[in-house]
Structure 1
Amino acid sequence: MSFADQLQKQKIKLKGADTIVTNADGQRYIESKTNEKIILSPNAYGFVVDNKPDNTPALITEHLYVGSQDCTAENVLVQHDIRHVLSLGVKVPLKIDYKYIDCLDLPEIDVRPLLEKSLPYLRDCVLLKQNVLVHCNAGVSRTSTVAIGYLMQYENMSFDEAHELVKTKRPAVRPNDGFRKQLEQLKPGELI
């Protein structure tokens, strides 16, 4: 008996199963044992939707917090005694000291102007011994870029050391590839 014949014989013994398939456009359907397609959600998103609030800021170093825009809720700011907020690319109406910096999360954006505008503001807050929150929309790319830049500039950490510290405190962080590459090329203490 040939190998192909042996495979065919074994295939007959396999138990049929239904499989849920999700296409790149988000359409979900069940592919049944009989190869019938039963559409589950024709107008779904092409990604996983997460509706849970991400409202716990992470303390990176003394007085410096990072998080998503959910962390700008008044009760969160009060709970963590946050008196200053640096918003990156996301305008949020707040009643406390607030600085907004327009910044897109695109790999081709030059991070130097972002760091030049944000790092001195953060440093002033820390030197005042007052808590400051850095946030963008999700608290993943722009936020981590600025937090890593802060540690590289004022704590003289290498990119790897700063990235590891921030990632330890907030595992979701991930500077986009362009931001990461630019930070890796900068020397500690010489970012601005």
Structure 2
Amino acid sequence: MMNADPRPSPERQVRQRIIVPSRMVQFGLDEKFESDPYDIDLKSILTPSEYTQHVDTLNEALKPARPKTLDQAVFYGMGTVIFTAPCAYIVYKRKKKRKKLLFEAISRFNAANPNLFMRWNRRPDSFISIERRTSQHVASKSAPNYMTGGGGDQTRELSVSDIRGGGKTAFDMKPMIVGGANKI
């Protein structure tokens, strides 16, 4: 006779999360997160007014990365060979800026809301989700900082004299930690 517990174990519990939908704006050149909670199941994680406030804050943070009039003109003139390279460069810079602003806005949300956790899920589809914070979401001290490249793995800085040998053996060299506050 099996003793089956009807409650799922803590490891097997399904995370309840709000998936923030997005829509295309500016003729498909950018996307904006939907701040209207009408068709969204908030799962008692946020109230409709809190959801609207947080998503509006996220959209405002991403506003500087939206394409300008010149960007749109270059994009629509891309059929000519002259505008192809500038358009690719502008799109690359804008996406890089948008990603940086998105990570900053998510970090601010996570710092301001100790019971909630926002994340950008990239696989299988790219979307923003908001969920209740669990022990998995507590950041460790050595967690990598994706904005500055610090934390995580420590790397050693090499100089030209290290590569050439500089009259020293490998045991005489003094390692320098890059990306951290401590220098040995």
- TM-score, normalised to structure 2, is 0.26
Of Structure 1 and Structure 2, the greater strand share is in: 1
